[in-house]
Homo-oligomer: A and B are copies of this chain.
Amino acid sequence: MSSEQKPVLYSYWRSSCSWRVRIALGLKNIDYEYKTVNLLSAEALSELKEINPAAKVPTYVDNGHALSESMAIIEYLEETHPEVPLLPKDPVKRALARQIALLVTSGIQPLHNLKVLQTLNKKEAGLGQQFAKQFVVEGLTALEVLLKQNSGKYCIGDELTMADLNIPPLVYSANRFGLDLSAYPTVNRINATLAEIPAFIAAHPDNQPDTGLNA
């Protein structure tokens, strides 16, 4: 396999987990091939399953190795492309950056992803949204306190870290659920700051090759 071969990102425009990896790739100036996975197509998921047994996006293929779980991919990018760091140097700040990232990726996002909504809405129309909203609100409430304590311009002081990659997808989801975000001024402030950064603009769901699919 040629070392010249571009890495491939299996992604879906509105997947928040794909989104945060797209931001990391952009910030680190990594050129990659975008492959759309239509999450509503059983055939597309079955194809994806051949390289990722969990059949989830994002799946990142680098030199023939298929990697998944957004935070594992981001840590891999951090280790293999350290030139633009997404973690501070201080161990406590590194832990806080990961904590904020994981509060979203493990504590909030899994409870409002597409499969969860589908499963609960099959039980009762709207149950998925009702369930998701409760956990998004709980997560946002904790996040706001953590950001008040730790943020500067960005989530952890004035350094852009992997924590920040989670803010725009979370705010986007919260807006899709129609939540009132006025109780989270620090989240909103950081989100507005991030929205001006080119890598964040390029990674936005509105700017992907598959934007609008199934919309």
Of A36-44, A119-127, A176-184, which stretch is located at the interface?
Answer: A119-127
Determine whether the beta carbon of B65 is less than 8 Å from that of A92.
Answer: yes
Query: Assembly of this chain: how many copies?
Result: 2
A95 within 8 A of B: yes
Count residues on chain A whose CB falls below 8 Å from chain B CBs.
Answer: 46
A72 within 8 A of B: yes
A54 within 8 A of B: yes
If A111-B110, A119-B131, A131-B120 touch, whether A54 touches B142 (CB-CB below 8 Å) is yes
Cross-interface CB contact of A98 among B69, B94, B107, B127, cutoff 8 Å: B69
Determine whether the beta carbon of B119 is less than 8 Å from that of A69.
Answer: no
Which chain B residue shows the least CB distance to A64? B92
A interface residues, Cβ below 8 angstroms from B: 53-56, 62-63, 65, 67-69, 71-73, 75-76, 79-80, 91-92, 94-96, 98-99, 101-103, 105-107, 109-111, 116, 119-120, 123, 127, 131, 134, 139, 141-143, 145-146
